[in-house]
Amino acid sequence: MEQLLQQIVNGISLGSIYALIALGYTMVYGIIKLINFAHCDVYMIGAYVGYVCMAKLGLGFFPSLLASMLVCTLLGVVIEKIAYKPLRNATRITALITAIGVSLFLEYTTMFFASADVRTYPPMTGFMAKTFKMGDVVISAQQILIALITVILMVLLQLIVKKTRIGKAMRAVSLDKDAAELMGIDVDSTISFTFALGSALAGAAGILVGVYYNSINPLMGVLPGLKAFVAAVFGGIGIIPGAMLGGYVIGIIEVFVAGLGYSMYRDAVVFAILILILIVRPAGLLGKNTGEKV
């Protein structure tokens, strides 16, 4: 039982990261039906910003977290304005290829300026270095912090989407962009805000991963980004609660597979889940099958 609880704790920590990244995928897809593969590299940039703030500037964790979210917010808006806005009426495949190009540009630009070397976050001190025991179950302060920050950010996101004027605009644009524009909603600003919001969450995920795993590199976003995409599809891409659910389920499954001694196959299991979901329930767990207009 203790081993089961330990794996659940580890799975929640990993799932929290996937959920934060998956939210960016699902919000952008819900608004403009674009799978933004550059999103995983915004997460990587967030990790590097956190590293610079903590290792080079000597800032604490929370100021570094805010700095990472702010830089990634600005980066998300810039990417949307430069790369995606001119392709608003282009075919989906054109936008998808552009997203892959932006992803590669971010990765190798980072590699050019920061080198391909693995960077190590400074050791945590104070509360962040503590561990707590409940029987044989060990919970680190970092795991508690990751779970708390993720829950807080998710609650804030839900409040923004459900209770604010811009949140209502996001939902309107998601349902029918043309009708929303006719009702006086600034569609371009709404789309930019969606990118900003998703990128801020990715930035938070980046620094949390840096603190938790203690190392970063320019290609660190590729595999977690793909797994977060699987999580978004699993829960129902375009649906915010689905991204949260998918992130936690994928994280827990991956940890359990590794805990059973099959760590070499944990990535394969995640992508097998994607294939299974696409075959059995393409709309995801919380999604609804809808007919497409022709």
The reported pLDDT for the residue numbered 147 is 92
User: Would residue 231 count as lying in a domain?
Assistant: no
User: Would residue 71 count as lying in a domain?
Assistant: yes
The reported pLDDT for the residue numbered 291 is 52
The reported pLDDT for the residue numbered 290 is 57
- 52 lies in which domain range? 12-221
Tell me the pLDDT of the chain averaged across its residues. Answer: 90
User: Would residue 119 count as lying in a domain?
Assistant: yes
The reported pLDDT for the residue numbered 294 is 44
Count of domains forming the chain: 1
Mean pLDDT of 102-121: 94
Is the model's pTM score more than 0.75?
yes
Question: Rounded CA gap, 182 and 204, in Å?
Answer: 35
* Per-residue model confidence as pLDDT tens digits over 75-105: 999 999 999 999 888 888 899 899 999 999 9
User: Would residue 72 count as lying in a domain?
Assistant: yes
User: Would residue 294 count as lying in a domain?
Assistant: no
User: Would residue 267 count as lying in a domain?
Assistant: no
Mean pLDDT of 210-224: 92
User: Would residue 4 count as lying in a domain?
Assistant: no
User: Would residue 242 count as lying in a domain?
Assistant: no
